[in-house]
Amino acid sequence: AQRVTQPEKLLSVFKGAPVELKCNYSYSGSPELFWYVQYSRQRLQLLLRHISRESIKGFTADLNKGETSFHLKKPFAQEEDSAMYYCAASGAGSYQLTFGKGTKLSVIP
Amino acid sequence: EAGVAQSPRYKIIEKRQSVAFWCNPISGHATLYWYQQILGQGPKLLIQFQNNGVVDDSQLPKDRFSAERLKGVDSTLKIQPAKLEDSAVYLCASSPRLPDTQYFGPGTRLTVL
């Protein structure tokens, strides 16, 4: 079955510390992978997608096919990064997103 | 550009009642999605439309849920009759074409008592 796993419900880090939000996937074929973010009182929005290889707001994510992981990283956390982060995947040609349960990131001033 | 609009934002009903949600996607977006997000979970796709045709409704509980997208623009999602376990946030999203980025609406929070 297609599955996206985010093992941490809550992650707290101090401002300026590195951040890593974990995501593992179980998909047949070569899925497309995404990170979505929801800031307090805002809509769910795309943060980045692996195919574009962009760095958004200092975040990057590397696809590791061997470990079936797509962890989100940022070298120095900022208070405005506090939000709910969801990893998502879609099967090749499917276009339908399967979301993980999300990780709440709290950056402590 | 205006974002995806949804109404109502909140709805409280008793079990066995009916409820309907409305979604207006971003102008020109051909693809429309409805998701259910139960507290503590990620969004789960219920149904996907391409223009006014259904692409996938495999996860839609068809005995009580129905959805339509007349004229390939607005969409409504209906639950009849509602159960306690339907309490969730219902999200609508749209994208200009497959498999482009999905843009989400603010959601409708449904509470079934």
Q: pLDDT by residue (tens digit) across A28-51? A: 778 889 999 999 999 999 999 887
Position B1 confidence tier, pLDDT thresholds 50, 70, 90 = low
Position A27 confidence tier, pLDDT thresholds 50, 70, 90 = confident
Residue-level pLDDT at A60: 93
Query: Which residues on A lie below 8 Å from B91 (Cβ)?
Result: 44
Contacts of A56 (CB under 8 A, 6+ apart): A47, A48
Residue-level pLDDT at A50: 85
What are the start-end ranges of the E strands in chain A? 3-5, 10-14, 19-21, 24-26, 32-38, 45-49, 60-64, 69-74, 83-90, 98-99, 103-108
Residue-level pLDDT at A2: 85
Q: Is A40 on the interface with B (CB under 8 A)?
A: no
Closest residue to B105, CB basis, from A43, A49, A101: A43
What average pLDDT does the segment B46-71 reach? Answer: 92
Position A95 confidence tier, pLDDT thresholds 50, 70, 90 = confident
What is the distance, to the nearest Å, from the Cα of residue B107 to the centroid of all Cα atoms in its chain?
Answer: 8
Residue-level pLDDT at B99: 62
Closest residue to B43, CB basis, from A46, A90, A99: A99
| Subunit contact A96:B56, Cβ cutoff 8 A | yes
| Subunit contact A86:B105, Cβ cutoff 8 A | no
